[in-house]
Structure 1
Amino acid sequence: MSRAWVRRIQSKRVEESGVEVLAGAGEIWCDCPEVNVQITGGSYTLTKQLETGSNLIYSCPEGYYPYPELKRVCQRGGTWDRAPRKMSNQRCRLVECPDPAVLKEGSVSPSEERYYVGNETTYDCYSGYAFRGSYRRVCLPNGKWSGNTPICSRDSGNNCHDPGIPAGASRSGNIFDIDDKVTYSCDGNQLFLVGSKERVCQENGHWTGIEPACYYKHTFDTPLEVSQAFGSAIKETLTTSQPIGDDTQEGRILRISKNGTLNIYIAVDISESITEEEVDSAKDAVIALIKKIASFTVTPNYEVVFFSSEITEVVKILDFMEGKIVLEKAVEAIREFKKEGLDSIGTNLKQVFETFLERMAIIKERVKEEAFKDHRHVLIVFTDGAYNMGGVPTPSVEQIKKMVYMNQAVDTAEQKTNPREEYLDIYIFGIGAVIFDEDLLPLRTGTGGQHFFRMDDIKNLQHTFDSIIDESEVLGLCGLHMAFDPKMKDRKEVKRKMYPWFAFIKITRENTASNCMGSLVSGEFILTAAHCLPFGVTPNDITVDIDDGLGKVKRVKNFFVHPNYNISAKVGQKVEEFYDYDVALIQLEEGVVISKSVRPICIPCTKETNDALQLVGDSNSCDRQEEILFKDSREGLNFLTKTENMVDEKDVYAKLGPNREDCIKHAVNSNVAVTDNFLCTGGLDGHRDHIACKGDSGGAVFKNFEHRTIQVAVVSWGTKDLCSGGGLVESDATSRDFHINLFKVAPFLKKVLGNEDQFDFVPLKFLDLKG
């Protein structure tokens, strides 16, 4: 109930003790005093000033947390819950980590009563015991220990390794053979368990679940930890990663392949206890995740709701299934959602899960039970868990499990989980100043990795979602790249992952050297300009610089220049250098190692580019790709230039349709020199384009679609040399650049890259081309 609404129903207004009081319906509301609420060493904010329902939220510098309260709420009677007292001043307290002295067959040094942020510990095993884990650990600002759990064990004759005991925990169970169990609990009443309370030794030598940890109320997961642990359960797209390091951890990450039916349900808490800034950060994280998934060929159905006492359905999953909404509109709806004006007093978390359950039931009704078996469901909820309406949400979660699991029983001793458990994952992101962990932990579910996260600050979470996708199974997909991450300090690493397809080409002969750019279009081929490989050049004269971890400089096996390229073809028509069909392909002696830092760009008229553009089936022609990529008369494009930052991105607009003629007229003898095979950029019309420099020749002119990049042209020639030292140089009014349109030379690309009559490389799959 909002305060404005209460004002409308009041029967009278009275004054008491000089304070405005609202009276009526048997209750009195008034403002809270701003007395004794200050915090030593920190600060506080008020969500609604001193009005009833306002949250007073404390904050402290890194490595400290508010004590004794994390926040207070102004109650109807004009008092703060857990009222501040003069004798117990609010202050910022040094972060404490759980007691690491849990080794049964080893020792911890130094031995302290309590361990605070910055404290270092070292570990040693007694004679006869082997050590695994981290010898040295540091108490971190988020209330966790660095490194891995130290373990002292003999591990002789056991099927599984000793799973260890996390800091602050106790363990029952010391036999580690097949089907043996270990159970964990946290010591004291200030710690709670996150992770698997019970783990079972499996026949494959691995433990079920994930290693648990003991958290304080001030413990939180960093965005990097979330990105490493966050996962999903999608058939053929999600697998359990091999254990890392000490075989005690089992991680799950989102693996995207080309097939799969996936339904994603997202809920964001907008109740009074969640600040507007936290809601905006959650929205950014949701959009970042959706965009990342959209860069692959999986096309999920989305349900997105915002909730407090009521549900606001912003994106409807049934509209997705009926084709009534496209992804761009869904993202726009999320971005435009505002908390303002909505009743945010009260939280009905149960209604969230009931709404998702209802949507699942309708989907099941529509697709029928047999098809519903192949649907994967991922639920992602951002909330502090402070539900006070609608009742406990746990029964609704159990109903969701019942529907997805289809009541399949577990009868065999070997099967430790429901055989359909991989079809459902529920992830809970705890946000807000106070998180009700004990209410949220029972709601998470799913096989494998961590499904509950405590977020101290989610403002940068969208940047880390780039890391949750394991691209190891889709390394061959063209055009994948990482978005800019401001936290990455290594400039070269940033650029390589942002533009993983770029290459530097060097031609050395007769004591002269020249440089060009190129783009990796498959594991074995670099696309560049034909004029970069002048007459007389041999493969031995060419090297390609592209660092795939096995050495930067790559030798060249062969190269192929477009058969129609002839730089002197129009000399008789007063065109000294004619660059039509200025395109070539360089074949490397050995294919590069594809990774997140080195991977091919998409090129027109291939089936992979169809996938990148989310065009379904072979019926989509090359013309359809061209319509999508060149849909405007001024099409924004980019190409790269070599700089001290390795490379930087230049912005240009291709002038198409009615704008083309005015663009190309600035070339000398343009009616001969500029054929239909060229795109024209440059000038000041509507945008001051960057201009190409000599070293930019052969580089990719590209267009981005979220996390996919499609090359549409090759940098060829220009009317003016405005570059003294290269770099980000801008056009003047008459400078123009011309780039070979790859759609016009697709038959040449197909003949070389799509050649199925050879065994040197895996050919690309091209669409049917005209002519």
Structure 2
Amino acid sequence: IPLAYFFAGVSSLPQCSESNLTISGGNFTLSKMYIYGSILRYHCPEGYYPHPVKLRQCYRGRWDPAPTKKQPECKRVTCPNPNVLNNGIVDPYKRIYYINDTITFRCHSDYTFRGSSTRVCQANGKWSGGTPVCSRNSDHCPDPGIPPGARRTGHIFNIDDAVTYRCHNNLKLLGSKVRVCQDDGQWSGQEPECYADFTYDTPEEVAEAFSSSLQTTLTMNEETGVYNEGGNPSKNVKEIKQIVYNGQVEKRDEYLDLYVFGVGDDVQREDIDDWVTKKRDEKHFFLLQDMENVEETFDQMIDESTSVSLCGLYKDYHDGTQSTMRRGYPWLIKIDVTHEDGTVANCLGSLVTPTFILTAAHCFRFGDIPENIKVGAPNVRGTALPKVKEHIPHPKFQIRDKVKEGISEFYEYDVALIELEKSVIIGIDLRTICIPCTKETSGALRLSSSGVTCKHHKEELMNNDLVTAKFMSSKKMGDVVPKKKVQIKEGYKRASCIEDAKKELNITDEQAAKIITDNFLCTGGAELNQVDDISCKGDSGGATFIEQKYRVIQVGIIGWGLKDVCKDKTQSIETARDFHTNLFSPEVQAFLKKYLGDGKRGAPLTFL
């Protein structure tokens, strides 16, 4: 395409017409209004699809395909014709089957039934369940069946016999067009399916088919274009196959798995289906409606029972309900401490192992007993956390340690652990957050397990003068627990942050050095047109965390601030500063390792 189309030349090209574009029963969106290159997409309510076209593209003042006098419409989704069962009966018999239509199958006498006896037409244009088969099981291989909407040639199923499939009407065949009966009594290749243009796979279907291949992490690139704008991959696919097969296709086919996730309306289904691996009882090509479905699919692929040891997993989407919103912060713990005098301290904490909660030491007082420490997981209904066994403050935390030096409150080493009487059950709503300098976090950051040090973690996470981080607020907005954004000041920015704090507190350099040590992270103020959020009373003990590579790593604990801007709304947020206990501090690391690395106290972390 000439470069002029993208720059100077584009303005001189005629626009496409705005008339005769509407769709009956739906609407449309435009990517670039009516100018050159704009894509018009038709949208229909759930259970309907645009017909006869899904999209048009503006090219040199004309739409392709061009609108006609007959207005496009939203038609009801149908499922492929299931009346292809040999040696059996489909009830009821209909010419067209729509969403929620239910059918049952039964075999003629002397035939044995297998598969799903009842199937329902689903909103994605597919039948629920598996292909029904009526057979006598007299050949070497079982009858491979006929999927809805297909036709099969071949009715003898002995060794080396082949069956061939094709789809009726405008349906496209995905899977193996030809399958051969093998010596082991199984069919080669993958069971075929017939897809309409509107057919797609649900996240649940994809996760079930693919989850066995996934155990640790996923990387997702969200790009546009039929081939992600990287050229046709056919040549690369061919080269990969040649390397793996090394001239021995049959012997080495089991070592190759090529998966493709097609997203949206522009997927070249039949071309892509030729690239992927085809194995018995497996599926390697999946069609999804949009990128949100891809993300949900990848989350569902993570088998909750096998991902217990994975820290920092979360989901950054929800459907508006409390239960799904909780999955965006599954480590968050609410802590209420009733002191001897009857006053109550409200704090937050983070689940760092199934038996330990990390929080701030200043939430507790001398004399607090486990019975008066209550912990819970916000927005998790019907799940009570185990009782508290004990709370363990850092041995060097002494809030009154420098009163004689004119410092009324001293928050150095403001870190504590709460040990539970028994382990929590890790699941989608309750997960551990990652903490630095552990092998578990090396895995989350995708760092090689050999030779990785705590320094490498810090270089990976704290690699700028301004490090974007977040914390959870204790102040709900309706049912939502807000996620607040800050920038941790490192390098010369940290020095500026401390200087700002010194001016606000009206203290000397010597006093500032005693109060704000290297064991604190500094946030607050305005940088790069962003004003940092400020923590409020009740946020203490919560995690200061970084979201990186689809995982969450805690780098600090919310400690103390210069102003209570939440109580006094007249105070300037821009001059407020917050200080967070730095989890990279050697003294803090030693404390965490002593308890969290102890195998006698539940599932331990492996410290570097």
Question: Shorter-normalised TM-score: what interval?
Answer: 0.7 to 0.9
Q: CA deviation at 1:489?
A: 3.4
Query: Which structure 2 residues correspond to residues 259-298 of structure 1 after superposition, within 5 A?
Result: 280=224
Question: TM-score, length-normalised on structure 2?
Answer: 0.76
CA distance in 2, matches of 1:73, 1:709: 41
Match of 1:404 in 2: 244
Confirm whether residue 680 of structure 1 aligns to residue 512 of structure 2.
no
Match of 1:255 in 2: 214
Q: CA deviation at 1:441?
A: 3.4
Contact 2:331 2:431 (8 Å CA) reproduced = yes
Confirm whether residue 99 of structure 1 aligns to residue 43 of structure 2.
no
Q: CA deviation at 1:699?
A: 0.7
Residue 243 of structure 2 aligns to a residue whose secondary structure is helix
Q: CA RMSD in A?
A: 5.1
Match of residue 735, structure 1, among 563, 569, 576: 576
Q: CA deviation at 1:720?
A: 3.0
- One-letter code aligned to 2:44: P
Question: TM-score, length-normalised on structure 1?
Answer: 0.62
Match of 1:557 in 2: 389
Q: CA deviation at 1:583?
A: 0.7
Match of 1:213 in 2: 193
- One-letter code aligned to 1:765: T
CA distance in 1, matches of 2:312, 2:220: 28
Match of 2:175 in 1: 195
Query: Which structure 2 residues correspond to residues 573-584 of structure 1 after superposition, within 5 A?
Result: 573-584=405-416
Return 634-643 or 580-589, whichever deviates more: 634-643
Residue 521 of structure 1 aligns to a residue whose secondary structure is strand
Q: CA deviation at 1:98?
A: 1.3
CA distance in 2, matches of 1:587, 1:201: 59
Confirm whether residue 503 of structure 1 aligns to residue 333 of structure 2.
yes
Residue 714 of structure 1 aligns to a residue whose secondary structure is strand
Confirm whether residue 169 of structure 1 aligns to residue 150 of structure 2.
yes
Match of residue 533, structure 1, among 364, 381, 388: 364
Confirm whether residue 641 of structure 1 aligns to residue 490 of structure 2.
no
Match of 2:9 in 1: none
Match of 1:749 in 2: 592
Confirm whether residue 148 of structure 1 aligns to residue 166 of structure 2.
no
CA distance in 2, matches of 1:49, 1:736: 45
CA distance in 2, matches of 1:107, 1:70: 36
Match of 1:353 in 2: 234
CA distance in 2, matches of 1:502, 1:407: 54
Match of residue 260, structure 2, among 427, 444, 459: 427
Match of 1:660 in 2: 497
Q: CA deviation at 1:693?
A: 1.9
- One-letter code aligned to 2:500: C
Q: CA deviation at 1:701?
A: 1.0
Distance 1:83 1:722, change over 3 A: closer
Contact 2:210 2:301 (8 Å CA) reproduced = no
Q: CA deviation at 1:429?
A: 3.2
Confirm whether residue 121 of structure 1 aligns to residue 121 of structure 2.
no
Q: CA deviation at 1:716?
A: 1.7
Contact 1:282 1:458 (8 Å CA) reproduced = no
Distance 1:162 1:91, change over 3 A: same
Confirm whether residue 651 of structure 1 aligns to residue 488 of structure 2.
no
CA distance in 2, matches of 1:663, 1:423: 59
Q: CA deviation at 1:157?
A: 12
Query: Which structure 2 residues correspond to residues 708-719 of structure 1 after superposition, within 5 A?
Result: 708-719=551-562
Return 422-431 or 151-160, whichever deviates more: 151-160
Which stretches in structure 1 are left out of the alignment for 5+ residues?
6-30, 231-243, 245-249, 267-277, 287-304, 308-348, 357-378, 380-396, 411-417
Contact 1:609 1:710 (8 Å CA) reproduced = yes
1:334-354 Cα shifts (integer Å, max 9, x gaps): xxxxxxxxxxxxxxx4xx433
Match of 2:434 in 1: 602
Distance 1:683 1:446, change over 3 A: same
1:208-239 Cα shifts (integer Å, max 9, x gaps): 755432223x23315x44x8538xxxxxxxxx
Distance 1:685 1:405, change over 3 A: closer
CA distance in 2, matches of 1:528, 1:572: 27
CA distance in 2, matches of 1:74, 1:429: 24
| Aligned-residue identity in percent | 35
- One-letter code aligned to 2:547: N
Match of 1:589 in 2: 421
1:128-187 Cα shifts (integer Å, max 9, x gaps): 9878648462352x4333x324747799999999876532235679999x9898957356
- One-letter code aligned to 1:137: V
Contact 2:347 2:539 (8 Å CA) reproduced = yes
Q: CA deviation at 1:698?
A: 0.8
CA distance in 2, matches of 1:586, 1:45: 53
Distance 1:605 1:192, change over 3 A: closer
CA distance in 1, matches of 2:104, 2:291: 36
CA distance in 1, matches of 2:519, 2:371: 30
Q: CA deviation at 1:265?
A: 13
